[in-house]
Amino acid sequence: MGISLESKVKMTSVYKPGKNNLITDVEGVKVGHFTIKDDARDIHTGVTAIIPHEGNIFKDKVMAATSVINGFGKSAGLVQIDELGTIETPIIMTNTLSVGTALNALTKYMLKDNEDIGVSTGTVNCVVTECNDGDLNDIRGQHIEEEHVFKALENASEIFEEGDVGAGTGMICMGLKGGIGSASRVFQIDDKDYTVGAMVLSNFGFPECLRIDGKLINVKEITEKKDGDVEKGSVIILIATDVPLSERQLRRVAKRATVALARTGSYLGNGSGDIAIAFSTANRVPHYGDTSMVDMKMINDRAIDKIFQATAEAVEESVYSSLDHAHTVTGIRGKKVYALSEIL
């Protein structure tokens, strides 16, 4: 849960973490995994599910926005988020060639509890995100099944594992074993406590570029990176908050993920899919209602800097946490990727 007390990874910050230092410190948010590890068949992959709140998300949508930092990605559902400013399903993370399977599964999951979808109302915008785990996983085997998505959703909880679990099982970050990482920050606005939580699926960066709390950590010597290799990883970043924000403000928050990536040593390479999704649990948009008007709150932009700063800190620590919790893995074609904990 976040960077543990035993970790050799240290990070200075302005704001304090929430109670578990996880994205689920934002009340109502839950995360679940389903992990597949089979060394004999070179399978290192999985599914991670993020549920924005405990109610019916289709009937009670959350305000949201995206920032496509570098668009070398195959995620589904981002276009409607940007158009309508809401999320109406859980968010699924998996590997690149399993987006279709995850999309079908999430659609079935939503249809099960919403008999009106596609009958008396419109269809549903399912959100699926991805990174390529093909350097460690037999990605061509397409080993993710719909049942694995259902299991990840079923496993969703306030407390969840980090590192090489779920969608992060086969991911590589900065030449080291990456995966799922999370962190949170608490701050005050008008004498009231608020929380920003972040979670990353880290699969980006070059080993000679890794920075931890501003210090360059060159790990190229223990990786298989060759001169002339290019950046072709990815990162999915989820940002949740209980601060009332409009979709315009959430888009501004999502953009601040770039600050955190730069701090960790990323330069957002040409072949990297770097995507941030931000949502607020404070403002809800009902699918049905007795009136045509929806009452909303939003923070004054002159007070939004605290959220920007807390977001940058939480996302940065999420990247470190994904490295800190991962384990050394030998994957397909004999590729071995070391854990950060073994080299610090």
- Catalytic residue among 234, 280, 321, 341, which? 234
Q: Report the 3 state secondary structure along the chain.
A: CCCCCCCCCCCCCCCECCCCCCHHHCCCCEEEEEEEEEHHHCEEEEEEEEECCCCCCCCEEEEEEEEEEEECCCCECHHHHHHHCEECCCEEEEEHHHHHHHHHHHHHHHHHHCCCECCCECCCCCEEEEECCCCCCCHHHCCCCHHHHHHHHHCCECCCCCECCHHHCCCEECCEECCEEEEEEEEEECCEEEEEEEEEEEECCCHHHCEECCEECCCHHHCCCCCCCCCCCEEEEEEEECCCCCHHHHHHHHHCHHHHHHHHCCCCCCCCEEEEEEEEEEEEEECCCCCCCCCCCCCCHHHCHHHHHHHHHHHHHHHHHHHHCCCCEECHHHCEECCHHHHC
Which entry of 272, 280, 318, 322 is annotated as an active-site residue? 272
Is 98 considered catalytic here? Answer: no
Q: Is 272 a catalytic residue?
A: yes
120 is catalytic: no
The residue annotated as part of the active site, out of 42, 138, 274, 324, is 274
Give the active site residues.
Answer: 234, 272, 274
